[in-house]
A and B are shown apart, each in its own frame.
Chain A
């Protein structure tokens, strides 16, 4: 499965990366699977995307939960929670 990944705000700064195209193994089915897969890359991915950190995710520019199934060719975005207002 091919995806376009986008990273925003502190996640982008921590990774030193704003976006990338990725080709995933077949066993990666959900956003949570994707996150786990990225964590295996090691530093800085491991600490930036650690499961004890609250992150928000979007699939094709729609906010979704981590259980959401991935779609081939989709754009997946990760960003930190935002407060204010």
Chain B
């Protein structure tokens, strides 16, 4: 069904809080004394370790290779020695297998070259393999292996490649900075992506609060390429694939379907830049741009941080207040609260937001649902969170899934954000979804 272009239905307008970091250029972070690399940094099978304890490695060397199709390798972010291969803490609270790497003092920034992927001669399959070998996953936060997302299923075709420069999460400015500082990487990345997917045209979607980035990219646009830049009004969660497709193409992705069902593929702009930066050299991801911000941070900014840098080291370097009480990895809308500062930066970390005790509006009291309908007017998918919340209380999970399309919910948090009764709707839905999934398996 065709809809009006340039926006999607409903959504919310949380305070953006981007102005403190969106003018700060990306700065290189130093190596921490110890780098901790979990193997499961992406959705899919964890990588398989191919180094041993005590081995010396070079920056850019593969430490763990992909284990199957839905998996990517892991590269050494720094030259150093493998201290230990053991359990490492992760954000979920679970310990998983990982590598402790001790960088050499004054470790070089030089990176090992691999097999370059030549844009002119490489076949689409070779590009996909190159993207996988570079260890690239969705850098917007989802960390889904990009090559798997780009693989066009049999019988389908891709018309439009959409580059996601929306960055609708409040506080985060990484994509904004990447667009301002790495235009050539982005356009080269787009060429690789268009070749790999067979897309006939590319649209770069940017929210109106990054007009400078849109103007700059437009001025750098390579001639005679079917690339356009579209600025859309600011609204959360426009960065969600489905919402962005609706905003740019005026089409809806069918329930339970994928963007390719409307002949589109969506790739995050930082991921695109990384493809353009790494593939010509056959290198792998060693670092990523992260916004470190929030009221609790002293030196806010956009930093290029080696993967595996412990969060505690990051916070020590930027300086945080004495009274920090909340640390989020990712944005404050969909990010995850950190319980342990010993976890490390992973490929999917797009931001670190730190709050003080006083600065956060915490829900004081949960009231019953008063059916005000604010959530219904906020849900970008036009679900009925009010009804779903009540059904969750009664544990009517089947009804939630079948009659009220719970499984379409991507947990953007708009409903919880607006709920005047402070009902933790998203939490109910997350729980309900996992119960439904478990029941299906059983």
Are these two chains actual partners, yes or no?
no
A-binding residues in B (CB < 8 A): none
Give residues in A with beta carbon < 8 Å to B. Answer: none
